[in-house]
A and B are shown apart, each in its own frame.
Chain A
């Protein structure tokens, strides 16, 4: 065993939890972190990319996101899809159920929609077809989310790893269906002729509107219903939940059904309003990005509108900067800014105390 001469001295730095912090102060810390992150990205771009200077970086970042009307609609569309999936993972996260299977749940939802449109398209009136697609998607997503939940509730099977694996099972099923549906076409499904959501005002308007309504619904569900309260209690402490008579297993299962169902809805929107087709990468990693978006918003649906918009803004703006070079550039930018935001949370939750007075021979541990 080691000797303990260190513990006799007081360390130079000590970390203590903060009780609370005024909201303006915590927001200020986050804003500083974001700015610092963007600054680093800008410096990096100036160093790595040719003919990019600092001002041009900032300008392109904004023009890529807000430059033209088309870009703004695109921003709204991408943010809406991301928001929808983020809302889906939120109920589970609030009870500390780490569902990282949103990618698969959304994909399987999208697949269900495509399957309905593929087999029944043209045989049913469009409203009925759309309703069936929606139902199929929500069901498929709920099933995909429910399977890991059953095992979590019954045997405490690690949900993070389970849901992660389910993503790839979903990808495999999509690949299988594509191989069956269009073997002659290199497994590429052409755009479906049926099951399109109606276009109101703009092709992306309906999608954005549905997502905004969903945001309100999820917010009310989480903050103003008994079920939402139960989720919070389970997240806070399972023992407390058990003590006050909440059946933890039931809440876990029910919440994952809700989570999966919303993912399924997102899949339906992707198929019905945007792609009208499916590939194994239809969700394109948004299931993972959504986890970060939801966490950034502290699992609050209203704040999530802002965070999803922010992440999409970064991605789209960075894509504009990097487009000449490589489409992977946004990932680097988003990654770096996320590191800063993740890191800054520490300074909101904790504070560093220096040793009161220097003692002779004391060294930092």
Chain B
């Protein structure tokens, strides 16, 4: 295939990893909770999915069911992590930054602990399912092979999230909770309930990113080591796309392009780029995010701001 096309197509599935994490984080942030545990949640999601795949290997189930069960396992794993986070930050009103960082520490630790022996076992412990996840392009040798079923799932989830947030009553209530929980509470919205639901579903969605990264994009036993970096980029993507799930589909694609630009552009243009340029190009997604963050805060357009109550705890009697 054409090298330019290959470059562009590779960016889509890579961006999909960010998309899952980003949509999950948007849902959580819309409830006013800055969840810095997303990298840890994505790690745990990937781990749960892979453990499920390993257990299902000789189950004799039809392969679509195996894929669905693995996705469910990742989702539930993420939700469990989300439950820890929301119990600590919503019910026990703990500091969100500290809780999130502890979640990441914990999640990354668990993942390395569980995944490294599974890789050493070698053989076919979970990568056997690669061809199922990469359906319908599993046989191809070009970049299209990464565009498996979860790519479509990711886009659907992002669109559904966008619809729910902007067009439904639950979405409206959720945004109200994130903007000002006291007001939301006063009009009878169940603040705690919305925070819990948003965080749990958000964590579940983010967790799929980890599974997707291992089982589709990377497809290797080493993949679990780099999920954490992907997770932080997902958090960056939330800002970059101004808390809008639909926009994040495009944003994730752009981040994907930027992420691999360092290794692809030199060969593409047929120039010999100095090796030192790669780190600089890999910095681009973060720099672009900073620029967006600054521009948004300078322009002060109301629809582009982070949820007003982001990062703050809510206590009803605290008025």
Q: Which residues of A contact B (CB under 8 A)?
A: 1-2, 4, 15-17, 98, 100, 151, 155-158, 160-162, 164-166, 168-169, 172-173, 175-176, 179-180, 183, 187, 285, 288-289, 291-292, 295, 322, 325-336, 338-339, 342-343, 345-346, 349-350
Contact = CB atoms under 8 A, between A and B. Distances in A.
B275 A179 contact: yes
Contacts of B239: 158, 161
6 contacts: A151-B297, A173-B283, A187-B275, A334-B102, A334-B105, A336-B106
B105 A161 contact: no
B280 A342 contact: no
- Give the interface centre of B104, B106, B117 by most chain A CB atoms within 10 Å: B106
Mostly helix, strand, loop or mixed at chain A's interface? helix
Nearest to A318: B109
Given A172-B282, A289-B105, A183 B276 contact: yes
Nearest to B91: A346
B188 A291 contact: no
The 6 A-B pairs with the shortest beta carbon distances in the complex, nearest first, are: A335-B106, A331-B109, A172-B283, A328-B112, A175-B279, A179-B276
Contacts of B103: 335
Nearest to B94: A342
Nearest to A161: B239
A156 B297 contact: yes
Contact of B105 (A16, A155, A157, A338): A338
B318 interface: yes
B144 to A, nearest CB: 30
B279 A169 contact: no
A335 B105 contact: yes
Interface residues of B, number: 59
Contacts of A350: 93
Contact of A169 (B97, B290, B297, B298): B290
B113 A326 contact: yes
A183 B94 CA distance: 46
A17 B108 contact: no
Given A151-B294, A169-B287, 17 more contacts: A17-B317, A155-B300, A156-B297, A158-B297, A158-B310, A161-B289, A172-B282, A172-B286, A285-B105, A288-B105, A291-B97, A292-B102, A331-B110, A335-B109, A342-B88, A342-B98, A342-B99
A287 to B, nearest CB: 10
Nearest to B278: A179
Contacts of A157: 293-294, 297-298
A164 B112 CA distance: 23
B95 interface: yes
A100 B290 contact: no
A165 B293 contact: yes
Nearest to B190: A2
A4 B293 CA distance: 41
B116 interface: yes
A168 B289 CA distance: 11
A162 B279 CA distance: 20
A326 B119 CA distance: 13
A148 B236 CA distance: 15
A4 B190 CA distance: 11
B187 interface: yes
A346 B187 contact: no
Contacts of B286: 165, 168-169, 172
Nearest to B98: A295
B105 A328 contact: no
B188 A2 contact: yes
B298 A165 contact: no
A329 B297 contact: no
B311 A98 contact: yes
B147 interface: no
Contact of A328 (B92, B109, B280, B311): B109
Interface string B257-283: 000000000000000001110111011
A288 B100 CA distance: 10
A180 B277 CA distance: 9
A339 B187 CA distance: 33
B137 interface: no
B290 A339 contact: no
B21 interface: no
A165 B187 CA distance: 37
B315 interface: yes
A322 B289 CA distance: 38
A179 B279 contact: yes
Nearest to B299: A155
B108 A160 contact: no
B208 interface: no
A349 B95 CA distance: 12
A291 B280 contact: no
A86 to B, nearest CB: 12
Given A162-B293, A165-B290, A179-B275, A100 B101 contact: yes
